[in-house]
């Protein structure tokens, strides 16, 4: 009898759950007074617009239907429709996008902004325990995840879309495939539907005033029961990266086991006005009745304007096509830097000058690298930097925001790093001393960025100019590896070939000086010199106490042999450091600086050593049989020989410093 009662109770609960799932339905024609759960920067404007992000960089915003929805063990069919818009301050440059998503929790406090869309972070992205389904509307091209900078994707527990397509719709009258711009500043309709019997997910887009197309943009067969829990939350997420954008939801409807109710488009709130005001009517009256003198002045003005445009005309080559949306006008960058005033100058490098600038519309602080006219390698180095760093995305790399090409002008646009370059802290007197915690964090940041370049991106990138002056520090003193003017990339499995040696003396690996062939291990050699430089605050080639030129790795190696590593630490650190960490970094610097490439670790191994996941190998064994080893005979430069690890070093024409 008790068994029958339990069975009846279970059946009743199942029936109640099933009935509840049948009745979940809601419609918001605008959000004035709506009961939603908001977090991050999301808020509802007075006119009823749901604004997920405001005009601020590096933020998240979330909006949830407040109650959980019972999708059941076998995920019920569902349908949702919404109207959205993305508005950027700069027409040519948008921030990251937004997503409709289904999540087991309303707590997304661990999610990161930028490329993670406020849904994941670099640790849990792709983790099957996330139980998150989303449809992304993304406006930034991250080669690791995305097909382009204007796409729609179906995501399962990850930002690497299971299926994606460029934003578009199929016109019902002609069946033609019509492109849509997610950053057009116009409202767009979207439908996301799941049919449980067929396990079919579809996504459809259309312009605001058109009916729902019969053919969806995306159709993906997948059983959501393997991802979603019984009870889930539905909502929207968005984030911004270095550039700010506003993400809006104008209306939203949802229904389980049936088509989502229609949204009343006539009652939706208005988007903020962004288009310029119409031309004055006076102009239409004055122009037809203008005198011959006025016409002559106008023609003269047009002639001079065309001549000026010809002087600074911009050309587009084949390699620029994929990178086109990030192209800035010379006029905007000229205004941003106040005409490249000397007071805006941040630094001078081998190929030109770097200026601080403020974009005229978005007011975003940027760094503008202006290549010199006299540089014969200017075009080649410029193209190298655009092609390599332009598609890279990593928290420890300086982000390239865009570029400009005019006649005689080559400019690159970067994130502005308010704390400047690391070498100013190691050698200058105007910057405060970095403590050991900060230095160790910088070292690990540079190592993480190099690992991404060598192994974690779609191609192998060899930086070829790793040094303290190319490591920039953001507002939190996080390391950002920059200056990719010498970088080279190649497909995995291909043997890279170069024809001449480039880089900075003291960081150049001996085999590179001999053969001119750059590899990831030549970057590792430079990284080893960088490690010793950060700990000792001495350049790889520097003047010793007696005025003689010294090789830093030789000096450190000699102190290691005599057990006096503490004597070479930057005295400004005092005794405020962890001896185990410092000892490990110095020894890793020596291992990475080994004259034989085969004895050096990969960057993945170097990161494991720095994180303490793997113990360092025995330094004595690694440097065995190298008491008097000729490191390299530098072909193409002035010849000189280094004795390694002996501290006696002969030079012929070697230039100290950088």
Domain annotation covers residue 306: no
Going by the DSSP 8-state scheme, the letter that residue 90 receives in this structure is B
Cα–Cα dist 238/52, whole Å: 6
Q: Are residues 252 and 384 in the same domain?
A: no
Q: What pLDDT score does 654 carry?
A: 24
CATH number at residue 348: 3.30.200.20
The structural domain count of the chain equals 3
327 and 254 within one domain: no
Question: Cα–Cα distance between 576 and 588 in angstroms, integer?
Answer: 20
Establish if 160 belongs to a structural domain: yes
Residue 302 covered by a domain? no
Task: Please tell me the predicted confidence (pLDDT) of residue 454.
Answer: 92
Catalytic option among 96, 332, 415, 465: 465
465 part of the active site? yes
Q: Do 509 and 606 belong together in one domain?
A: yes
Last-in-domain residue among 267, 293, 326: 267
Q: Is residue 46 part of a domain?
A: yes
**Residues 378, 328 share a domain:** yes
Q: Are residues 354 and 432 in the same domain?
A: no
pLDDT in tens, 512-525: 878 888 899 999 99
**pLDDT at residue 261, as a whole number:** 95
Taking residues 546-575, what's their average pLDDT?
Answer: 81
Domain contains 279: no
Residue 437 and residue 383 share a domain: no
Record the pTM.
0.53
Boundaries of domain holding 466: 423-645
Task: Indicate whether 45 and 118 sit together in one domain.
Answer: yes
Cβ–Cβ under 8 Å, residues 426 and 530: no
**What is the rounded average pLDDT for all residues in the chain?**
80
Q: Which two structure tokens, joined as six digits, stand for 186?
A: 């116009």
Residue 337 carries which DSSP code?
T
Co-location of 317 and 248 in the same domain: no
Whether 655 is in a domain gets the answer no
Of these ranges, 85-99, 490-504, 544-558, 582-596, the one predicted with the greatest mean pLDDT is: 582-596
Task: Please tell me the distance from the alpha carbon of residue 193 to that of residue 212, in angstroms, as a whole number.
Answer: 13
CA distance 377 to 405: 15
Q: Pick the more confident residue, 226 or 279.
A: 226
**CATH code at 41?**
2.60.120.200
- Closest by CA position to 539, among listed 435, 419, 422, 418: 422
Phi-psi group of 385: left, alpha or beta (phi > 0 → left; psi -120 to 50 → alpha; rest → beta): alpha
Lowest-pLDDT range of 117-131, 296-310, 463-477 = 296-310
Residue ending a domain, among 267, 288, 304, is 267
Q: Enumerate residues 6+ apart whose C-beta is below 8 A from 297.
A: none
- Domain end call among 415, 443, 467: 415
In a domain? residue 253: yes
Q: What is the CA radius of gyration of the chain?
A: 30
Residues 507, 560, single domain; the answer is yes
Q: What is the CATH number of the domain that holds 477?
A: 1.10.510.10
Cβ atoms of 359 and 366 closer than 8 Å:
yes
**CA nearest neighbour of 102 among 218, 205, 213, 254:** 254
- Tell me what pLDDT residue 279 has: 44
Residue indicated by tokens 């939603």: 36
Quick one: 406 and 528 in the same domain? no
Judgement on whether residues 411 and 428 belong to the same structural domain of the protein: no
How many angstroms separate the CA atoms of 464 and 524, rounded? 10
- Answer yes or no: is 518 within a domain: yes
Q: Looking at residues 219-223, what average pLDDT do you find? A: 96
Give helix 436-451 / helix 603-611 axis angle, nearest 10°: 150
Residues 25 and 94 in one domain: yes
Q: Which of 70-84, 175-189, 258-272, 392-406 has the lowest mean pLDDT?
A: 392-406
pLDDT value, residue 387:
63
The lowest-confidence range among 130-134, 479-483, 624-628 is 624-628
């Amino acid at each position: 009898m008790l068994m029958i009662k339990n069975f009846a109770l279970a059946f009743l609960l199942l029936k109640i759950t099933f009935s509840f799932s049948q009745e979940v339905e809601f419609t918001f024609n605008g959000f004035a007074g709506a009961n939603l759960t908001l977090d991050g920067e999301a808020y509802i404007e007075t006119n009823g617009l749901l604004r997920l992000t405001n005009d601020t960089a590096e933020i998240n915003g979330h909006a949830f239907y407040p109650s959980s929805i019972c999708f059941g063990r076998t995920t019920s069919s569902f349908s949702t429709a919404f109207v959205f818009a993305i508005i950027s301050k700069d027409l040519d440059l948008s921030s990251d996008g937004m997503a409709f998503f289904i999540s087991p929790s309303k707590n997304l406090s661990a999610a990161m902004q930028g490329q993670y869309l406020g849904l994941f972070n670099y640790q849990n992205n792709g983790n099957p325990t996330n139980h998150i389904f989303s449809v992304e509307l993304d406006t930034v091209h991250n080669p690791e995840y995305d097909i382009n900078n204007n796409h729609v994707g179906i995501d399962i527990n990850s930002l690497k879309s299971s299926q994606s397509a460029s934003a578009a719709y199929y016109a019902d009258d002609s069946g033609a495939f019509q492109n849509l711009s997610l950053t057009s500043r116009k409202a767009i309709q979207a439908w996301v539907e799941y049919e449980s019997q067929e396990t079919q997910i579809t996504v459809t887009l259309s312009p605001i005033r058109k009916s729902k197309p019969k053919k969806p943009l995306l159709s993906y067969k997948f059983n959501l029961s393997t991802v979603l829990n019984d009870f889930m939350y539905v909502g929207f997420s968005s984030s911004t990266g270095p550039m700010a954008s506003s993400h809006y939801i104008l209306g939203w409807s949802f229904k389980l086991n049936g088509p989502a109710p229609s949204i009343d488009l006539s009652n939706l709130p208005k988007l903020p006005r962004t288009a310029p005001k119409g031309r004055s009517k006076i102009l239409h009256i004055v122009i037809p009745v203008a005198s011959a003198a006025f016409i002559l002045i106008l023609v003269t003005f047009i002639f001079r304007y065309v001549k000026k445009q010809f002087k600074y005309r911009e050309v587009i080559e084949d390699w620029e096509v994929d990178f086109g949306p990030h192209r800035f006008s010379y006029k905007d960058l000229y205004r941003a830097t106040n005409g490249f005033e000397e007071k805006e100058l941040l630094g001078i490098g081998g190929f030109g000058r770097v200026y601080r600038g403020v974009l005229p519309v978005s007011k975003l602080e940027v760094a503008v690298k202006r290549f010199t006219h006299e540089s014969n390698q200017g075009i080649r180095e410029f193209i190298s930097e655009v092609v390599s760093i332009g598609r890279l995305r990593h928290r420890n790399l300086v982000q390239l925001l865009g570029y400009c090409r005019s006649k005689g002008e080559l400019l690159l646009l970067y994130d502005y790093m308010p704390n400047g370059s690391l070498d100013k802290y190691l050698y200058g007197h105007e910057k405060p001393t970095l403590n050991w915690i900060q230095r160790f964090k910088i070292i690990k940041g540079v190592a993480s960025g190099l690992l991404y370049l060598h192994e974690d991106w779609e191609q192998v990138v060899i930086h070829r100019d790793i040094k303290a002056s190319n490591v920039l520090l953001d507002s939190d003193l996080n390391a950002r590896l920059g200056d990719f003017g010498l970088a080279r990339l190649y497909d995995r499995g291909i043997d890279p070939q170069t024809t001449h040696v480039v880089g900075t003396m003291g960081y150049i690996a001996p085999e590179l000086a001999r053969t001119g062939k750059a590899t990831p291990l030549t970057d590792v050699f430079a990284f080893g010199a960088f490690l010793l430089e950060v700990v000792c605050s001495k350049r790889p080639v520097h003047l010793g106490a007696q005025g003689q030129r010294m090789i830093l790795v030789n000096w450190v190696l000699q102190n290691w042999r005599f057990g006096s590593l503490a004597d070479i630490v930057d005295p400004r650190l005092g005794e405020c450091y962890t001896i185990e960490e410092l000892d490990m970094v110095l020894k890793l610097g020596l291992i990475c600086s080994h004259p034989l490439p085969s004895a050096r670790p990969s960057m993945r191994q170097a990161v494991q050593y720095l994180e303490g996941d793997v113990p360092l190998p025995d330094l004595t064994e690694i440097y065995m049989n190298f008491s008097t080893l000729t490191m390299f005979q530098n072909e193409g430069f002035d010849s000189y020989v280094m004795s390694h690890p002996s501290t006696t070093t002969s030079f012929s024409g070697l230039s100290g410093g950088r």
